[in-house]
Amino acid sequence: MDYKERIELFEKIRAEYSVFLLSVLWKLTGDRELFTEAVQYALLGIWQHLGKLNGKKAAAYIYRIALTANSKAWRNRIGRDGQLSHNQIDLAGPADQKFDRTGQAAKVRQAITQLPNKQATAVVMRYLQQQDYPAISEKLSCTEAGARSHVSKALATLKAKFAVLTERE
């Protein structure tokens, strides 16, 4: 595929998933700065994995791309050691204010970035996109019980991660 064809395919795929990315990435980030970063990473992900997004498993890959983009954006914000970057705090305002504003939802969002891929995808489908279990199981290529299990495990993991994040404060 030459460069021109790649660009055409990229634009087609971007147009196809733009509403999905906008909605999911905003709900996952809840913060304009993070959202901007996440969208950039998602577009880069699409560009890098064009071939995979043109096939049958495109829907699964787009979730992976969105979740990876979100994790990268959060990682830049919180640092690789799990601590908030002081530089980011300088730019975005005092840390306590920032977290007072975003509150518990921010902690949950941050915790989602630490979920295994299938659990994160299941959570996004179930709660952020409000899909039912038959739809989730179809997209995850598993049984309905399997989909419920992913969601349940994800909630348990989120609960544990939430507690850790709260303790750190």
Partner 1 sequence: MSKENIEEILKNIGNENVPVDVHKIAQRVSADFSRTLLQTKKQHIFWEYIMRSSITKLAAAAVIVAAVFIGIYHFGSPIESTAFADVMQNIQNARTLTYQSVFTTQDQKPQVAKTMVLEPNLMRVELPEGRVWILDHGQGKTLLLDSKNKEAEISTTPQKALGLYDTFRQFRNNPDFSVRQIGQREIDGMKVIGFQLTKENDENVIIVWANPQNSLPIRIEQTTKDGDGKVIKSVTTNIIFDAELDESLFRLEVPEGYSRRFVDGPTERSVKLKKRSQTGSNMKQILLTCLMYAQDHEGQWPDTLQDLSEYGLAKDALINPKQPEQEIGFVYLKPIAPISPQQVVLYEAYHSWGDGINVGFADGHVQVIEKESDFKNQLNKVERR
**Closest distance to partner 1 from the beta carbon of 109 (Å):** 7
Piece in contact with partner 1 (CB under 8 A), picked from 58-66, 81-89, 93-101, 140-148: 81-89
**Closest distance to partner 1 from the beta carbon of 167 (Å):** 12
36 binds partner 1 (CB under 8 A): yes
CA dihedral of 72, 148, 21, 61, whole degrees rounded to 10: 70
Piece in contact with partner 1 (CB under 8 A), picked from 35-43, 114-122, 132-140, 142-150: 35-43
153 binds partner 1 (CB under 8 A): no
| Residue 68 structure tokens | 């990876």
Q: Residue 84 has what DSSP assignment?
A: P
Rank residues 14 and 98 by Cβ distance to partner 1 and give the closer one.
Answer: 14
Measured between alpha carbons, how far is 14 from 51 in angstroms, rounded to an integer? Answer: 13
Long-range contacts of 68-71 (CB under 8 A, 24+ apart): 68/41, 69/25, 69/38, 69/39, 69/40, 69/41, 69/42, 69/44, 69/45, 70/25, 70/28, 70/29, 70/38, 70/41, 70/112, 70/113, 71/113
Using an 8 Å Cβ cutoff, are 122 and 145 in contact? no
85 binds partner 1 (CB under 8 A): yes
Rank residues 99 and 127 by Cβ distance to partner 1 and give the closer one.
Answer: 127
Q: Binding residues for partner 1, how many (CB under 8 A)?
A: 49
Using an 8 Å Cβ cutoff, are 124 and 23 in contact? no
Piece in contact with partner 1 (CB under 8 A), picked from 56-64, 93-101, 137-145, 160-168: 160-168
145 binds partner 1 (CB under 8 A): no
Interface with partner 1 by CB under 8 A: which residues? 3, 7, 10-11, 14, 18, 21-23, 26-27, 30, 32, 35-36, 39-41, 43-44, 47-48, 72, 75-76, 79-80, 85-87, 90-91, 104-105, 108-109, 123, 126-130, 155-156, 158-159, 162-163, 166
